[in-house]
Structures are given as structure tokens and as C-alpha cells.
Amino acid sequence: MNKIILPGATLGMLGGGQLGKMFTTAAQTMGYKVIVLEPDVNSPAGVIADQHICAKYTDETALAQLAELCDAVTTEFENIPATVLSYLEAKTVVHPSSKALSSTQNRLVEKAFIESLGINVAPYAPIRNMADIDAIADTFKFPAIIKAASFGYDGKGQAVCENADDVRVAFKTLKEVECVLEQRINLEREISTVLARSQSGEITNFPVAENVHINGILHSTTAPSNVSEQQAQSAIEMADKIADGLDYVGTMAVEFFISKEGDILANEIAPRPHNSGHFTLDACETSQFEQQVRMLCGLPSGNCELVTPVVMINLLGDVWGNSQPHWETLLSQPQNKLHLYGKKEARPGRKMGHFNTLATDTEQATEIALQAFEDLKAD
């Protein structure tokens, strides 16, 4: 049944990172209270929430308290143990479901699920032991990328391999955890699509966006993307099929590779709002976080249309150096919309914030954004 939860109610968020923070802001703006469960005392979402339960995700007393206090619970983080969600499901409304989440927590399970829907992924092989490497050594098409099957993000737990010996070394470095070996695709471009699926199965799609990664971490997102209308449509259809297949409720994203040969391959599913959807905060009528609140609360989805061309640039800890970035140029141009997550320590590779540059076309937005980004770099 489609249960509608109205403002004044309390929503629970598992995870206190920037995605949880932007959900909390959207929910509070609409008049909901938010309780964040997060082990870190100083998390971006925890400090702005109406209440912060500072405990491990697996702490049963904390979970019971969350379920007791919240009308519905969601997550910002796919590695929440599915058992935690099933525990909460028995006590309150939870979206996305533990079942949907568990299909995306392990890359091998995720790829098999995507393939079962008739959607292509990069050619891959499971690597669970040294014998698996011997078995594919002569046939696998290198170069390849080995990835830990679980708990990877921002390119962590990955290594490029030119041959089977590299795979053996990397597998050892990864402590022989379950891995997937993926053929490295000759990329023409990368795109992603964020969508929202309601409790009754209606889907709304944000525009397809184009992503640039540096060292496995998202650097920039541009919308609208440069892909053909046909490619954008195919990506949206595949993402929607995945959301239906998961019986997903909430905001989610799918990342795609487009190869030089023109093939569209699904890379991975994010069962939550996604970094490549941050442009929606300033450039769409509804943000991916408002949409997350709407789906959780059984409200109709907001309009996803792009209001203006936009370029989003991620701000990693690297930009801080030994001091604060030079914010002057960025902030002197009102087209640049700055979002900082309030993280105390700026470490290399750590996502500290992002900014969206709005302009009349993506070329102009790119030019302004890149200049502002260059001018930020601390001495």
C-alpha cells in the first residue's frame, strides 16, 4: 500500500556522510525531522540532524531506537549490512529494501543481476583464488582492472593489470578477498543517469549526464550530455529496467561506459543519490535529494527537468593543500554555486564539497568552472 508520510513526521537516515547531509537538508526544508544513525561524532549529516544517534550500524539498541522514533528509514550508503535493513523492515517503513540493497553490495552479484536483465557489462571473470587466475590467464583480454567485489568506492580496492602476473600480484595486495577482473574498456565517454522510483513503480528520470573521472574518482559532471538522443534513451531504458528488476523504491543511479565502438555497458548501480546527480541541486526543478524524500514518504515525484545547462566539479581534499582554497574567484561569479560538506580534515582524495556552474550552454559553463577550479588551488 502507498503510505503517505507528511511533514512533521520523522525520517531516519543510515549514514552521516555528505549524501545523508543533503537528504537531511532537503527533508528539513520540507518540514520533516531527521534522525541520523552514524558512528562518527562529527559527521556532515549528524551535526545538522534533529537528532544524531552515535552508534555502529549494527548496534541493536540504536537500531531499535531509530525504528521506534522514525516513520520511515532510508540510507545513503550501500554497504549497510542487509541484515540491518531487514531488522528495521520488521519494525518500520524502509526504502530501498534490504533485498534491493543486497543485489548491489557485491560486484559479482550485481553484474550477474544486470546480465540477467539482458543488459551488457564489461567482460569479466570472478577471481576467488589463485587457480581462478591460472584458468583465465591465456584467454582473458588484457589490459584489465581487478576490483575487490565488496566495499569499493572512489576507485579504492582496484588495480590495473596488463597480464596475469599483474593480477596475481594485485590479488595478493588485496589480501585475496573475492574480486572481479574486468576488461578495461576503451572509453569514448562515461555517462550516468539518476532516477526515482515510487512505491507503485512509477519512474522519473533526471537527464543523462556525462562524467569525467580522474584516478577512478569523479571529477566533473556535465548536463546535458553530448551523447546522441538514441544513446541517452537506451541508457535511461536500461536504468529503468534495473530499477524495476530490483523493485527499487527511492532515488538511485546507474553508471555506464560508452566504448569507442559505441557499445553502452552498465558499470555499476548506486542504490542511493549519486555524486553525478549533484548538478540537480541547482540545475533541475527538483533535486535528487528532494526526490529521495518524496519517494520515501510516498509523495508524487517532482519534475526532473533540467532548467539550465550545468557543470559540476568535485572538490577533493587535494585542493586544500596546507591552507584554505582561494574561494574569491569562484564566489565572485554568481553562476558558481558552492556546496561544502563541513568535513574537518581535508585529506587527498576525500570529497570535501562540489560546485555547480550554471550558464547558457555547457561550453560556457565548462570554461567558467575550469577557471574557477584552477583559481582555487591553494599554494
Q: Which residues bind ligand ATP (CB under 6 A)?
A: 122, 145, 147, 152-156, 182, 184-185, 187, 190, 213, 216, 255, 267-268
Q: Are 313 and 323 in contact (CB under 8 A)?
A: no
> Please, what is the minimum distance in Å from the beta carbon of residue 62 to ligand ATP?
26
Torsion sign across C-alpha atoms 301, 307, 310, 314: negative
Contacts with Mg ion, 248-267, as mask; x by CB under 5 A: -------x------------
> Please, what is the minimum distance in Å from the beta carbon of residue 180 to Mg ion?
13
Short-list 264, 276, 271, 269, CA closest to 121 = 264
> Please, what is the minimum distance in Å from the beta carbon of residue 210 to ligand ATP?
12
Q: Are 379 and 320 in contact (CB under 8 A)?
A: no
Q: Name 54's bridge partners.
A: none
Residue 144, all three cell numbers: 584489465
Our CB check for Mg ion shows the closer of 217 and 370 to be: 217
> Please, what is the minimum distance in Å from the beta carbon of residue 168 to ligand ATP?
19
Contacts with Mg ion, 263-302, as mask; x by CB under 5 A: -----x----------------------------------
Q: Name 264's bridge partners.
A: 258
Would you put residue 17 in left (φ > 0), alpha (ψ -120 to 50) or beta?
Answer: beta
Question: DSSP per residue over 363-376, as a string?
Answer: HHHHHHHHHHHHHH
Burial of 230 (0-12, 13-18, 19+ CB in 10 A): exposed
Our CB check for ligand ATP shows the closer of 159 and 359 to be: 159
The entry of Mg ion, ligand ATP, none near residue 283 (CB within 5 to 8 angstroms by kind) is none
Our CB check for ligand ATP shows the closer of 189 and 241 to be: 189
Our CB check for ligand ATP shows the closer of 244 and 263 to be: 263
The entry of ligand ATP, Mg ion, none near residue 293 (CB within 5 to 8 angstroms by kind) is none
Our CB check for ligand ATP shows the closer of 19 and 369 to be: 19
> Please, what is the minimum distance in Å from the beta carbon of residue 18 to ligand ATP?
13
- Assign 315 to helix, strand or coil: strand
Which residue has 590467464 as its cell numbers?
Answer: 137
Residue 329, all three cell numbers: 574567484
Which residues are near Mg ion by CB under 5 A? Answer: 255, 268
